[in-house]
Amino acid sequence: MDPCDIAIIGGGPCGSLAAISALSYNKDNYVTIFEKRKTSGYPPHCSGLISISGLKKLGIYHFAAKKTSYNKIRSAKFVSPEGKSILIKRRKNELLVLDRPKLDAYLAKQAQKLGANLLHQHTVKEIQRKNQTWNILFTGGRSKCSSITAKIGISAEGHHPIISSQVGLPTPSKKWFFPAIQYELDNVMIPEKETVELYFGNKIAQGFFACMIPLNDIQARVGLAIHPNMTKGARTYLNHIVKKHPILSPKLKKSTIINSWGGFIPANGPINKSYTDGFLVAGDAAGQTKATTGGGFNIGGYCGLIAGKIASEAIERDNFTGTFLKKYEQLWRSKFEPELSLMKFFRRTLSFLPDKTLDSLFDIARQTDLAHHMQKVDNIDLHGIGLFKYSLSPKTIIHGLKNIPQLVTSMFNGFLV
C-alpha cells in the first residue's frame, strides 16, 4: 500500500467528516480511512435525534432532511420521578429524528467521492512513530497483518479508543462511560408526534434519563442510559419502564419491539489534550459529546471537520509538530468551551441526586419558569451556559435554597467517582 498523508482510524461520522474536510482543503491529499466494520454506521448506536442547526453547520442538512429523516421535533416534555412534568416548546422544529446508518453511509460515500481510500473491515491494531512518520499496523484485506506509513494520524475511533492511548493521549474516563440501550417499537400510542418525552428517576434510569422519541404517529424509539456503577444492567431498567412506568408503559401496552441496539456514551466532557506530534483525536474518542444528553454527532462531527483542515494545513507547511497541531485544540475549544465542561458539571451534579430532590427541582423549575428560559437559548446544542445562567439567577437560588445541601452532596459524589 502506498504511503498516505493522513490516516484516519474510524469511519464513523467524525472520521468521514475529517476526510471530507481534508480533501476539500486539498484534493491531492492522500487520505486513508480504516473502518473495522463491514458497513459504515451499521449496526447503529444512536437514537438519531440531531439538531437542524448543527446539521446545517456540517453542510449536510439537505441530504439529512430529505433522505434520512423520519420526524421533526419541536418540544421536550420532562417528567419527574413522581410524574410532575415540564414542557419546553421551541418556536419551530429544531431537531430531526434520523436514520443514522443511512447518514453515516452517506458521509463515508462523500469522503470516497472526494478521493479517500476507505477500507472497510480493516482494523488498526498498533501505531509506531519512526523518523517523524507513523507506521500503522492493521488487519484486514488479503494478508493477516499489513502496515502503511502516514504523515498524520487522526483517531476517530469512537467511545473506546485504543490507538490514541498508544500515542500517549488521554482517553475518556471509563468511570463516566454510560451504557445505553434502546428499543424501536411499533404500535405505540404517541400523544404528540413532535414532542420527545424524557423520564427521570433512580428507578427509571439511575444517573441519566430515559426517553421516548417518536418516529411517526405509531412508532417510537424508547431508550435510556445509566451510570456505569449500577449493579443492574441498562436492559433491566429499560424492560422495567416499558412494562411498569405509570406514565410511559400505558403508551407501550400494545407495542412490539422491531429493533434493539445499544452502545456507550462518554459523559465526562472532553479529554485534556487532543493533539500530539503528528496526531489528532476527534469525536467520542476525544469526549466531544454533550454530557447532559449524550448527543455527540454534531459537535464531534464539527471537531472532525476542524481536525481534517488542520491536518491539511500541517501537510501544506510540512510541519507535523505538536506545537503546530495545537491549533486544532485551540479552535475546537474556542467553539465548544466552556459549554462542554459546564455540561459535564451538570451531569456530575445531577447523576447522584435522590428522587426527592429531583422532584423538588421540578417544582422549582416550574416556579421559576425554566421552560420560558430554555426557549430563549439560541443554540439547542449548546445549552450549558443557558442552564448555568438560569441556575445562578437570584429567583432560582431563592427557590432552590432548601435543596442546596443535597445538590452540594450530589456534586461532591459526582466529582469523587
Ligand X SMILES: Cc1cc2nc3c(=O)[nH]c(=O)nc-3n(C[C@H](O)[C@H](O)[C@H](O)COP(=O)(O)OP(=O)(O)OC[C@H]3O[C@@H](n4cnc5c(N)ncnc54)[C@H](O)[C@@H]3O)c2cc1C
Stretch that binds ligand X, among 42-50, 227-235, 367-375, 400-408 (CB under 6 A): 42-50
Least Cα distance to 78 among 380, 359, 377 occurs for 359
> From the CB of 409, what's the least distance to ligand X, in Å?
29
Site for ligand X in 208-227 (CB under 6 A): 223
How many residues does this entry show for the chain?
Answer: 417
> From the CB of 76, what's the least distance to ligand X, in Å?
13
The residue to which cell 477500507 is assigned: 119
Vertex 337: Cα angle to 332 and 339 (nearest 5): 130
Least Cα distance to 96 among 380, 344, 290 occurs for 380
Q: CA 149, CA 296: separation in Å to the nearest integer?
A: 30
Give the list of residues 6+ apart from residue 2 with CB closer than 8 angstroms, or none: 30, 148
* Binding of residue 36 to ligand X (CB under 6 A): yes
Neighbour-count burial of 273, counting CB atoms closer than 10 A to its CB (0-12 exposed, 13-18 middle, 19+ buried): middle
* Binding of residue 56 to ligand X (CB under 6 A): no
- SS3 category, 110: helix
> From the CB of 379, what's the least distance to ligand X, in Å?
14
* Binding of residue 101 to ligand X (CB under 6 A): no
Q: Which residues pair with 260 in a beta bridge?
A: 183
By rule CB under 6 A, what string of x and - marks binding of each residue 296-325 to ligand X? xxx-x-------------------------
* Binding of residue 163 to ligand X (CB under 6 A): yes
For residue 403, what is the DSSP state?
G
> From the CB of 406, what's the least distance to ligand X, in Å?
29
Q: CA 136, CA 120: separation in Å to the nearest integer?
A: 16
Neighbours of 412 (CB within 10 A): 13
* Binding of residue 158 to ligand X (CB under 6 A): yes
> From the CB of 178, what's the least distance to ligand X, in Å?
8
Site for ligand X in 172-201 (CB under 6 A): 180, 182
> From the CB of 140, what's the least distance to ligand X, in Å?
8
* Binding of residue 49 to ligand X (CB under 6 A): yes
* Binding of residue 382 to ligand X (CB under 6 A): no
Site for ligand X in 246-285 (CB under 6 A): 262-265, 283-285
* Residues at the site binding ligand X, with contacts judged by CB under 6 A: 9-15, 34-37, 45-50, 123-124, 156-158, 162-163, 180, 182, 223, 262-265, 283-285, 289, 294-298, 300
